[in-house]
Amino acid sequence: MHGRVKVRTVAEQAEAKKKEKEKKLQAYNAALEKIFEKRNNQILDEEGLKLSLEVLLANPDFYTLWNFRKDIFFSLKESRPTEELQKLYEEELHFIESCLRVNPKSYGTWDHRTFVMNNIPQADWKRELFLCNKFLEYDERNFHCWDYRRFVVKNSTNITIQDEFDFTTDKISSNFSNYSSWHYRSKLLPLLQPDPEQPAGVKEEALLKEFEIVQNAIFTDPDDQSAWFYHKWLLGRGEIKLDLLHVVIIRKSKRVVVNVTKPIHLVDTPYKIQLEVNGNTITDKWQNPFDTNLHSPVWIMLLPDGIMSTDDTMEISVKLLNDSETISSCLLTMKSSMKQASYHSTTVKPAAIFSSELTAAKSAILEQELQSIQELLELETENKWAILTVVQLMKSLDSIRYATEIKNNLEKLQSIDPKRERYYNDFGSKIVIENQIKTMDPLESMLQLNNLSLTAAYHMEYLLILQDLDVSHNHITNVKNFAYLQCLEVLNLDDNQLDNVDGLEFLPSIVSISLRRNFLANLEVLRPLQRCKTLVMLCLDGNPLFASSGMPHMFVCLSSIQMSIIPKNFP
């Protein structure tokens, strides 16, 4: 038996590992105890660097320790010469590399490297770019490294935009699925080939070349979403120009309502709305329809008592300002016999706002892309990305002309991608409402959107002057954005899927609301309607309302409302 190596049993090996683990844990905790003692006593020395180094090599995600090291470097900066600081920072960079090998996606580690490069006396940006290249070889989707790379490029004087653009080309050529490269490319292209007249901000020649590249990716791997997202970016999202769209003065509710082309905020921003009545500036507070501190395309001012009670004709001026510069203005005359006065822009059309969501400089580009994607669909008949892109292109080109094709494609998407059925339904609802708004008279006071299979009511902000709206026999579940309809008097919401009426309480002119055959389960959900002081008719037939202890109180609160309640019979 002499001379034979003794082999540990499984139990002995497990016990040895356990003891080793306990030993490391004790050392880890002891180091932490010393570190926090130093930190609490503000002892910022090189021993603290050494102690935290040992812990961070084991756990690079300990953000507090990275901050502790930053504090030490700030302290040493005041007492050490530049040469010594340079050496300390270089050692820190090597240490950070070791931590990144442990966890290449550590937030704290990449942030600390940024700190070091911002403070090192002589930064070697070329070496940092080389490091980024290496880590992106290991994981080309490491967005921490991509962010750091942008930081390096921004601070380096030797790296050109063209160099970085070529780098993305190489990465995409080796892997079409590299979403980070596509995204970085979208940031570089407007800088390399700028053209502010194009929606994507890129020269048309460069844009056409990019379409060729992305089409190669799409036809090579139609199921990969990275290239499809870049394709959508190339098509462009036009910038909506801020302008006045509607202005309405309502005598009964004593308010001025201003509708602009895109959401703005009037507090702590350069944007202002200036209101003058008969030459006198009114300085009362503007608020959005929801009375919240949020951006909004609709702003309301409640006029002081006495202004609307005059029998004289009123001259009302509204100006939209950017600082002191007038963006747009209008002048309204309101005679004593008028219930309301309104202004509608003759230069800004809702149709132009809708089309700006996805548009290229020339429709020929869109037509060309539509033809290409349709050719792909002949090969990939159930590719959801291709079908969705066709819908978006048709919407941008002419949503009315392509209405039937859009509807059929969205129905097909629901069948092949049922998990996103609600998204496709909502998208279809949005297009249907846009088409209705495009074809209606902008001064029309009545609109019928019934029996259109709507699941959501989009663009209510562009229907500011409506007085009568019928959205019955749809699948609407939310009416919060109905608050934009400040002139609305009659609303039909029969046969939808509402379980609450939140949003309707902000309608100052509402007289009649019909909510027959919805999912309103109790009278408590109707409590917001108590704020509707002008409401005289509320129809609730066919809702699963049930009696509760609060019902008598609710009836007292709503004593001015004629309620027709016929509860459904549920088993």
DSSP string, 135-162: HHHH-TT-HHHHHHHHHHHHH-SS--HH
Two tokens, residue 305: 């008592």
The domain made up of 353-428 is a member of CATH 1.25.40: yes
pLDDT value at residue 267: 87
Token readout for 184 is 């970085």
> What does R_g of the chain's alpha carbons equal in angstroms?
32
Instruction: Name the residue among 180, 181, 204 with its Cα closest to residue 193.
Output: 204
Say if strands 296-302 and 562-564 run parallel, antiparallel, or are unpaired. Answer: unpaired
Q: Smallest Cα–Cα separation from 100: which of 78, 123, 128?
A: 128
**Residue-by-residue DSSP string for 512-546:** EEE-TTS---SGGGGGGGGG-TT--EEE-TTS---
Cα–Cα distance measured from residue 96 to residue 98, given in angstroms and rounded to the nearest whole number = 5
Task: Please report the pLDDT score of residue 115 as a whole number.
Answer: 95
Contact 270, 248 (CB under 8 A): no
Count of beta carbons in the 10 Å neighbourhood of residue 489 = 18
What pLDDT, on a 0 to 100 scale, did the predictor assign at position 15? 66
Q: Which of 379-393 are b and which e, b meaning 16 or more Cβ less than 10 Å from the residue's Cβ?
A: ebeebbbbbbbbbbb
Helices (H), ranges, 41-142:
46-58, 63-77, 82-102, 107-119, 125-138
pLDDT tens track of the chain, all 571 residues?
A: 556 656 667 666 666 676 666 666 677 788 788 888 888 888 888 888 888 888 888 889 999 899 999 999 998 888 889 999 999 999 999 999 999 999 999 999 999 999 999 999 999 999 999 999 999 999 988 999 999 999 999 999 888 999 999 999 999 998 889 999 999 999 999 899 988 776 667 887 888 888 889 999 999 999 999 999 998 888 776 678 899 999 999 988 889 999 999 999 998 899 999 999 988 899 889 999 998 889 999 999 998 877 776 667 889 999 999 998 999 999 999 888 888 899 998 888 777 778 654 444 467 778 888 999 999 999 999 999 999 999 988 988 889 999 999 999 999 999 999 999 999 999 999 999 999 999 998 888 999 999 999 999 999 999 999 999 999 999 999 999 999 999 999 999 999 999 999 999 999 999 999 999 999 998 889 989 989 989 989 998 888 875 444 444 443 444 444 455 433 333 3
- List the beta bridge partners of residue 255: 250, 302
Pairing of the two strands 446-448 and 468-470 = parallel
Domain 244-348: CATH superfamily is: Rab geranylgeranyltransferase alpha-subunit, insert domain (2.60.40.1130)
- Helices 225-235, 204-220: axis angle to 10 degrees equals 160
Given this model, what pLDDT does residue 200 score? 65
| Amino acid identity at 529 | L
Quote the CA–CA distance of 26 and 61 in Å, as a whole number: 19
pLDDT of 2 reads 58
Half-sphere exposure of 188 (CA within 13 A, CB side): 22
Beta strand spans in 289-362 (E): 296-302, 314-322, 325-334, 340-344
* Residue 292 burial (CB count, 10 A): 9
Residue 285 tokens read as 């507070």
Nearest to 273 by CA among 290, 289, 256: 256
Domain regions of the chain by residue span: 244-348, 353-428, 444-564
- 444-564 is classed in which CATH architecture? Alpha-Beta Horseshoe (3.80)
